[in-house]
Amino acid sequence: MIEPKNPSEIAREALTRLAANRLPPTPANYQACYNEIAGLPNVVPFPELPLHQLAALLVGKNAVQHAELAKFDAAIARHSWLGVQESLLAFIGASSPPAAMVNASLSEPALPLEFLSKLARLIESVLPALGDENGRMLEMAGDLLLLLRQPSVDITMLQDRLANFSRQVLFAAEEQVEIKVSLLNLLHLIIENIGELSLDDSWLKGQIDGLLAAVVPPLSLRHLDEIERRLRDVMVKQSEAKNRSVEAQEELRLMLAAFIEHLAIMSQSSTTFQGKIEESAREIEQIKRVEDLAPLLKNVLAATQAMARETSGAHAQLENLRSRVSATEAELVQLHLELDSASALARHDPLTDTLNRKGLDEALAREIAGVRRKDSLLSVCLLDIDNFKLLNDRLGHDVGDNALIHLADVARGCMRPSDTLARYGGEEFVILMPDTALEQGVEAMVRLQRELTKAFFLSGKEKVLITFSAGVAQLAADESGADAIKRADQAMYLAKRAGKNRVFSG
* 471 phi-psi bin (left φ>0, alpha ψ -120 to 50, beta other): beta
Q: Which residues pair with 421 in a beta bridge?
A: 431
Of the candidates 392, 391, 358, 382, the one whose C-alpha atom is nearest the C-alpha of residue 432 is 382
Provide the edge-to-edge strand list for the sheet that holds 468-474.
Answer: 420-425, 428-434, 378-385, 468-474, 503-505
- 457-459 and 462-464 beta bridge pairing: antiparallel
Return the SS3 of 382.
Answer: strand
Cα first-last separation, the chain:
57
Distance of CA 444 to the CA centre of its chain: 22
Of the candidates 408, 404, 445, the one whose C-alpha atom is nearest the C-alpha of residue 427 is 404
Other C-beta atoms closer than 10 Å to the C-beta of 44 total 8
Distance CA 240, CA 199 (A): 21
Distance CA 456, CA 462 (A): 9
Cis previous bond, 417, omega within 30 = no
Rounded to 5°, the CA angle 443-445-450 comes to 95
Is-catalytic flag, 279? no
- 378-385 and 468-474 beta bridge pairing: antiparallel
Query: Which listed residue (240, 427, 439, 451) is catalytic?
Result: 427
Distance CA 387, CA 457 (A): 15
H-helix or E-strand spanning residue 366: helix 357-374
Distance CA 370, CA 128 (A): 23
Of the candidates 454, 447, 441, the one whose C-alpha atom is nearest the C-alpha of residue 382 is 441
Dihedral angle of Cα 169, 172, 173, 177, to the nearest 10 degrees = 180
Residues tagged active-site: 427
